Amino acid sequence: MRHTVLQFLICGLISFGTPNYVHAADATAPPVEQRSAAQKLFEAGDTLYEAGKFADAVQAFRQSHALVQSPNSQLMLARSLRELGNTTEACEVFRATVAAAANSGGRYPEAQKAAVAELAALESQKTQQNPTVASPAPEEEPRPSTATDNVPKAPEQKTTAQLAAPNRFTRTAAWTSAGVATAGGLGFVVFGYLNRKTYQDLQDACPAARCTENPSDRVSAGKTYQLLSNISLGVLAVGAAAATTFFVLSPAKAKPTVGLSVAPGAVLINGRF
């Protein structure tokens, strides 16, 4: 009898608590259509950024962030503004990204780390271009502390931040070096084949080291092919080494992650971008 009463109470508590959980999840999570639209805008902005269309990328990232506030869309918006030369607004968006990531409960560590590093690099660049900015400012009245005041700026890592900042030059140089390496490899194969063919023709024309005609032209051509083959091999090695170096120096971007979860009476989308 006691077991029957206990099971009844447990079942009653579960059935009573389930609707509240579903309503709470529905109240805090953005609608599925809204998150889907925000992610599509984020991906479109990322494609525009890679194509160098930074003005269009700014509009896409602004619209994505307006639908679903995400440190990742803020980070890419700041990068696009920086590429357009709008350093003042870029710094403001970088600071907002740091604050939003810090208040997310540790869900955006990569975006926070990248924003801190790139903000330090951009501020250092502005200081070098405008030395007067570094002069001491007059004392001001105390102001209320904000979320960004508690975020460390890591001034001792400014040199590392400059290296970590995304640089479109490194990506372009990496692909260019890869193309040079490919051309070198192709030249090595072609000229190596011609050199070997010339050598075989000389062997056929001069059996037992006795030639029926003057082989000087073929010998000269074979030497030329050998030289070009060696040069192509050197181009292949230098291009491959340069491409590898630039690919390693090129930083990776934060990619959106989205997943589905099923709860009693509801289907929810979890993730971030």
Tokens encoding 184: 């070198």
Q: Are 78 and 115 in contact (CB under 8 A)?
A: yes
Kindly tell me if the per-residue pLDDT of 210 is higher than 80: no
55 pLDDT more than 90: yes
Q: Which range has the worst mean pLDDT, 67-76, 89-98, 175-184?
A: 175-184
Those residues with Cβ within 8 angstroms of residue 89's Cβ, 6 or more apart along the chain or in another chain: 81
Of 11 and 52, the structure prediction assigns the larger pLDDT to 52
Checking if the pLDDT of 233 tops 70, the result is yes
Average pLDDT over residues 215-234: 85
266 pLDDT higher than 70: no
146 Cβ contact partners less than 8 Å away, ≥ 6 residues apart: 99
The pLDDT value recorded for residue 14 is 39
Every domain of the chain and the residues it spans: 31-131+148-166, 168-249
pLDDT at position 161 is 46
Is the pLDDT at 203 greater than 80? The verdict is no
Say whether pLDDT at 133 is over 70. Answer: no
CA angle 22, 25, 27 (to 5 degrees): 110
CB 101 within 8 A of CB 72: no
Q: What is the CATH number of domain 31-131+148-166?
A: 1.25.40.10
Q: Is the pLDDT score of 264 beyond 70? A: no
The confidence score (pLDDT) of residue 228 equals: 92
Are the C-beta atoms of 101 and 111 separated by less than 8 Å?
yes
Q: Output the pLDDT for position 200.
A: 80
pLDDT at 216 over 70: yes
Using DSSP's 3-state secondary structure scheme, residue 260 falls into strand
pTM for the whole structure: 0.41
